[in-house]
Homo-oligomer: A and B are copies of this chain.
Amino acid sequence: MRYLLYYWPEIQGRGEFIRLALEDAGADYVDVLRLSGKASFSNYPDLKRAPYAPPYLVAGRLVLSQTANILQYLGPRLCLAPKDEAGRLWVNQLQLTIADWLAEVHDTHHPIGSGRYYEEQRPEAKRRTADFLAVRLPKYLDYYDGVLRRAERGSAGGGYLLGKACSYADLSLFQMVAGLRYAFPLAFGRLEQRHARIVGVHDRVAARPRLAAYLASRGRVPFNLRGIFRHYPELDSTRKKSKKT
């Protein structure tokens, strides 16, 4: 099966969570809009089951959207999710909580409107980011740390969210760490020191042979100021500073 991925070619964004799974599995896929600037999302105007927003994945006659939905479809096929129903529901649940977390990252720089410029909402972005770094981000980190701690107790040993086997949710957790390091080097730099298990997942994922090659290649779009993770120095802060805001 050759998969077709449709996503904005100039950012990592939500599409990167799909790219990581396809790359890690060595899947046969085409990142359509990066290959040809001319192709567009409007290739599917008459689609009965039309998506709301990219990323889209075309898999034979299926056209799927919503990152977690695409990953749920790909997971067992790419050996990045268990085959049993309970296991698949659990990975999906972990992925959906990452989706919530990611949406909150987006809203740190766009708390008023996603269609407006950051510069139009900078004061609000400062307030929202301070709350995110002080309250929300630690809560998400503590949660995934707990999942990893409990997975270690399993008979097969730990290292990933499900124990010994790497799932697509681990690739997504890697992406969260990579993105947060780019966006908030000061604030996240402090926080990650207390979350060695999460950093461990990041490092193990980054060292997987196919992903290591991908991450070092031109295929990996660099983080930039148009994506979901954005580095605005005025939003980043050590935790102490954010309290004064």
Contact call B112/A128, Cβ cutoff below 8 A: yes
**Could you tell me if B52 and A68 are in contact, using CB atoms closer than 8 angstroms?**
no
Partner of A112, one of B73, B127, B150, B153: B127
With A52-B143, A69-B93 known, 4 other A-B pairs at CB within 8 A are A66-B92, A69-B96, A113-B127, A113-B128
| Binary contact track A140-171/B, C-beta < 8 Å → 1, others 0 | 10010011001101100000000000000000
A225 in contact (CB, < 8 A): no
Q: Which of A72-99 contact B (CB under 8 A)?
A: 72-73, 86, 89-90, 92-93, 96-97
Q: A69-B96, A111-B124 in contact; A62/B89 too (CB < 8 A)?
A: yes
Q: Tell whether A65 is near chain B: CB-to-CB under 8 Å.
A: yes
Is B135 within 8 A of A113, CB to CB?
A: yes
A48 at the interface (CB under 8 A from B): yes
Q: Give this chain's copy count.
A: 2
Report the minimal beta-carbon distance from A129 to chain B, rounded to whole angstroms: 10
Check A112–B124 contact: CB distance below 8 A: yes
Interface residues on A, range: 35 or more
* Chain B residues with CB under 8 A of A132: 113
**A150 with B50, Cβ < 8 A, contacts A62-B89, A124-B124, A127-B112 known:** yes
- Please give, as numbers and ranges, the residues of chain B lying within 8 Å of A154 by CB-CB distance: 48
Cross-chain contact of A116 among B64, B93, B116, B131 (Cβ < 8 A): B131
**Are B93 and A50 in contact, CB atoms less than 8 angstroms apart?**
no
In angstroms, Cα B121 to Cα A96, docked, is: 27
**Residue A103 CB within 8 A of the other chain:** yes
Q: Which of B50, B64, B96, B147 contacts A50 (CB 8 A)?
A: B147
User: In the complex, are the beta carbons of B50 and A97 less than 8 A apart?
Assistant: no
Tell yes or no: A2 within 8 A of B by CB: no
The CA of A65 and the CA of B94, in the complex, are separated in Å by 9
A96 touches B150 (CB 8 A): no
B65, B100, B111: the one within 8 Å of A111 (CB): B111
Q: How far is the CB of A51 from chain B (nearest CB, A)?
A: 7
The answer to the question of A49 belonging to the interface, with a C-beta cut-off of 8 Å to chain B, is yes
Give the residue name and chain of the B residue nearest to A60 (CB). Answer: B86
By beta carbon, the residue of chain B nearest A142 is: B52
Jot down 17 A-B pairs with beta carbons below 8 A, ordered by A.
A48-B150, A48-B153, A48-B154, A50-B147, A51-B93, A52-B97, A64-B89, A66-B93, A68-B68, A72-B89, A72-B92, A73-B89, A112-B128, A113-B131, A113-B136, A115-B131, A115-B135
